[in-house]
A and B are shown apart, each in its own frame.
Chain A
Amino acid sequence: MSEGRILVVDDEPQIHRFLKPALSAAGYDALQAFTAAEAERLAATSAPDVIILDLGLPDKDGKEVIRSLRTWSKLPIIVLSARGVEAEKIEALDLGADDYVEKPFGIGELLARIRTAIRHREPATVSMSRFDIGDLSIDLAKRIVSRGGERVHLTPKEYDLLAHMARHAGLVMTHRQLLVAVWGPAHTEDLHYLRVFIGQLRTKIERDPSAPDLIRTEPGVGYRFAE
Chain B
Amino acid sequence: VPDIALKKADEVILVDLPPADLIERLKQGKVYLPDNAERAMEGFFRPANLTALRELALRRAADRVDDQMVDFLRRSAIEGPWATGERLLVLVGPDPLSEKVVRTASRLASGLNAPWLVISITRPGATVDSGRLEETMRLAERLGAETRRVTAEDFVAEIMRTARRENVTQIVVGRLPRSLFARLTRRSLPDRLIGQAGDINVHVVSADVPLDARPGFNWRTRSNENALEAIGFPLAAVVAITLVGKAITAILTLQNIAMLYLVAVVVCGVVSGRRSAVFAALLSFVAYNFFFIQPVHTFAIDKPHEFFALFVFLAAAIFTAELSGRLREQAERARSQEKATQALYDFSRKLSGAARLDNVLDATAAHLYAETGKGTALLTPRQDGELIIGTVWPPDLAIDPTAMMAARWAFEKSELAGFSTATLPQVPWQFRPILTARKPVAVVGLLLGENGPLRPGDEQIVHGVLEQAAVAIDRARLFSESARRAALEESDRLHTALFASLSHDLKTPLATISGAATSLRDLGDKMEEPTRRDLLTSIEEEASRLGRFVANLFDMTRLEAGTLKPNLETIDIPDVVDGALQRVRKVYPGRIFDVSLAADLPSIEADAHLLGQVLFNLLENACKYGGEGNPISIFGRLDGNEVAISVTDQGKGIPEKDLEKIFEKFYRRQKSDGRAAGTGLGLSIAKGFIEAMGGTIKAESPAVRRRGTRFIVRLPVAREPRSRDSAR
Contacts and interface: CB of A to CB of B under 8 A. Distances in A.
Contact of A107 (B508, B509, B518, B538): B518
A84 interface: yes
B5 interface: no
B523 A26 contact: yes
Interface in B514-566: 514-516, 518-519, 522-524, 526-527, 531, 534-535, 538, 541-542
A15 B515 contact: yes
Contact of A15 (B512, B526, B673): B512
Contact of B503 (A19, A22, A84): A84
Contact of A18 (B503, B519, B673, B676): B519
A18 B512 contact: yes
B519 A14 contact: no
A62 to B, nearest CB: 13
Contact of B674 (A21, A56, A58): A58
B149 interface: no
Contacts, number: 86
Interface string A1-41: 00000000001101101110110011000000011000000
B510 A103 contact: yes
A156 interface: no
Contacts of B507: 82, 103-104
Contact of A22 (B511, B519, B670): B519
A104 B514 contact: yes
Given A25-B519, A25-B527, A58-B676, A105 B511 contact: yes
A90 B368 CA distance: 63
Contact of B516 (A18, A59, A110): A18
Interface in A67-121: 80, 82, 84-85, 103-108, 110-111
Contacts of A108: 518, 522
Interface string B147-165: 0000000000000000000
A25 B516 CA distance: 12
A72 B512 CA distance: 32
Q: How large is the interface on B (under 10, 10 to 19, 20 to 34, 35 or more residues)?
A: 20 to 34
B514 A106 contact: yes
Given A21-B519, A106-B515, A108-B518, A14 B508 contact: yes
B673 A58 contact: yes
A22 B676 CA distance: 26
Nearest to B539: A18
B675 interface: yes
A22 B675 contact: no
B504 interface: yes
B377 interface: no
Nearest to B500: A56
A112 B364 CA distance: 74
B519 A104 contact: no
Contacts of B675: 11, 58
Q: How large is the interface on A (under 10, 10 to 19, 20 to 34, 35 or more residues)?
A: 20 to 34
A161 to B, nearest CB: 34
B510 A18 contact: no
B121 interface: no
Given A15-B508, A22-B515, A56-B504, A107 B534 contact: no
Nearest to A17: B538
B513 interface: yes
A59 B676 CA distance: 11
A166 B699 CA distance: 61
A40 to B, nearest CB: 16
A21 B518 contact: no
Contacts of A80: 511
A105 B531 contact: no
Residue picked from A35, A56, A103, most chain B C-beta under 10 Å: A103
A226 B511 CA distance: 25
B526 A25 contact: yes
A103 B674 contact: no
B26 to A, nearest CB: 85
Interface string B164-183: 00000000000000000000
Nearest to B528: A21
A21 B527 contact: yes
A22 B531 CA distance: 9
A86 to B, nearest CB: 13
B537 to A, nearest CB: 9
A14 B512 contact: yes
A118 to B, nearest CB: 18
Contacts of B527: 21, 25
A19 B523 CA distance: 11
A92 to B, nearest CB: 16
Contacts of A22: 515-516, 519, 522-523
A25 B528 CA distance: 9
A59 B526 CA distance: 35
A97 B531 CA distance: 31
A181 B128 CA distance: 86
Interface string B668-681: 00100111100000
Contact of B515 (A18, A26, A59, A82): A18
A61 to B, nearest CB: 13
Contacts of A85: 503
A80 B512 CA distance: 13
Contacts of A59: 674
B182 to A, nearest CB: 85
A106 B518 contact: yes
B90 to A, nearest CB: 63
A108 B513 CA distance: 14
B519 to A, nearest CB: 4
Nearest to B527: A25
B512 A17 contact: yes
B525 to A, nearest CB: 9
Residue picked from B512, B541, B670, most chain A C-beta under 10 Å: B512
Contact of B511 (A11, A15, A34, A84): A15
B538 A103 contact: no
Given A26-B523, A56-B504, A82-B503, A107 B535 contact: no
Residue picked from A25, A26, A84, most chain B C-beta under 10 Å: A25
Residue picked from A14, A17, A80, most chain B C-beta under 10 Å: A14
B545 to A, nearest CB: 9
Nearest to B509: A14
Interface string B467-492: 00000000000000000000000000
A107 B503 contact: no
A80 B510 CA distance: 13
Contacts of A26: 523, 526
A111 B512 CA distance: 16
Contact of B513 (A19, A34, A84, A104): A104
A21 B535 CA distance: 9
Nearest to A26: B523
Contacts of A58: 670, 673-676
Contacts of A110: 515
Given A22-B515, A106-B522, 12 more contacts: A18-B535, A25-B524, A25-B531, A26-B523, A26-B526, A84-B503, A104-B512, A105-B515, A107-B515, A107-B518, A107-B523, A108-B522
5 contacts: A11-B675, A17-B535, A22-B515, A26-B526, A85-B503
Interface of B: 503-504, 507-516, 518-519, 522-524, 526-527, 531, 534-535, 538, 541-542, 670, 673-676
Interface of A: 11-12, 14-15, 17-19, 21-22, 25-26, 34-35, 56, 58-59, 80, 82, 84-85, 103-108, 110-111
Return the 3 tightest CB-CB contacts between A and B, nearest first. A22-B519, A25-B523, A106-B518
